[in-house]
Amino acid sequence: MADALRVGIAGLGTVGASVARVLAEKSAELTRQCGRPISVTAVSARDASKDRGVDLSGSTWFVDPVKLAAYAEIDVFVELIGGDEGPAKASVKAALEAGRHVVTANKALLAKHGVALAEIAEKNGVLLNYEAAVAGGIPVIKTMREALAGNSVSRVFGILNGTCNYILTRMEAEGLSFEACLADAQRLGYAEADPTFDIEGNDTAHKLSILTALAFGTKIAASDIYLEGISNISQADIQAAADLGYRIKLLGVAQRTESGIEQRVHPTMVPTASVIAQVHGVTNAVAIETDILGELLLSGPGAGGNATASAVVGDIADIAKSRPGFQHGPVFGWPAKQLKPYKKAQMRSHAGGYFIRLSVQDRTGVFAAIAKRMADNDISLESIVQRSTEAKDRKTVILVTHETTEAAVRKATDGITKDGHLIDKPQVIRIERAA
């Protein structure tokens, strides 16, 4: 049997402790599957005395993760610190430069420095594995890097943030406000004390940028993603969507177009009968559209200690199965130096059109003015519904358009606003064809 694979873990929070525990509890199974033992040789954390529910007394302790990364007695450096700079970046870079394989769950680090780190890994002939960085326990990275060899991807999209999906699920199921659902998510530990990164779409954007690089061979460009969060979604939107046969989800979407690669994160209406509309709570889902296989949908736990630890352990096991002299595949499917510069596409027309909700003054001529603005911008309407509200001086107008462009919709709603008929800001939600 081959010598043990020696692992160093930096960061012993919920995920790091779970990884150490799984490696200990599943030692026999992993040895059988990998053909060699896996041992946690060293760890890095600030407090060595803290009870983490796993015996780490046989491991060498480091306060500085950079020193752990350069430690000669490890073969694999596992980074579970978090953050896109500081100790996380410095330790991963040091490990790769020292010829150590790296496993990370750090989406923010990869979204900002992934290409540069991939170049170091490929130069030194070591692996940089990151399954846990996108969609938790769902094996989407392995699927895109390995299982879809030969396929050309045209679109990848999905529910990539459990916090947002939990909030939207509760809003629909229980008729609660966004604020009430967010507060409950925080109480249950599904949302941070400062939830901005999740609810405004930034977390989803980081994950999407990594999937985009894998799908289309472009450099990671998280800062070029069109971004909208869910904080402006109201019960009026949830109820109108249901009446029209849709459900609202926060989706990350990347697709190839004639003008470049389009990346966007925003609330989206998907048909209630679609598979992705049935993904509830903190569950994640990723759909991949290809020329050979067709459409593939992967769904499962997107966060949490066990889900993330499972992905990390899977990455470690893959390294344990590899042998000296084996030529590793590129980190992002293409050699890092061959990744193309990201060419941002114009926001294009979307199959299924747009949902537009307008709160308007209840007076003569409003309907006609709205219809004229739509016609002036070549927007064809699938339906237009007027609803009374509790307030006698206002009405709600709901429009569903046929396929049209982002620019046309924005120009039309700007025109309606200038006409002086609106009471509140227009609500515009894209309607997406979905798995």
Catalytic residue among 207, 340, 344, 425: 207
Cβ atoms of 101 and 83 within 8 Å: the answer is no
Residue type, 149: A
Residue type, 44: S
Q: How many CB atoms lie within 10 A of CB 419?
A: 15
Q: Give residue for tokens 């389009």.
A: 262
Half-sphere exposure of 268 (CA within 13 A, CB side): 27
Length of the chain: 435
Phi, psi (degrees; rounded to nearest 5) at 388: -80, 155
Residue type, 317: A
**Separation CA 3–CA 339 (nearest Å):** 36
First-to-last CA distance in the chain?
45
Q: Is 142 a catalytic residue?
A: no
Cβ atoms of 266 and 250 within 8 Å: the answer is yes
Q: How many CB atoms lie within 10 A of CB 106?
A: 24
- Residues with a catalytic annotation lie at 207
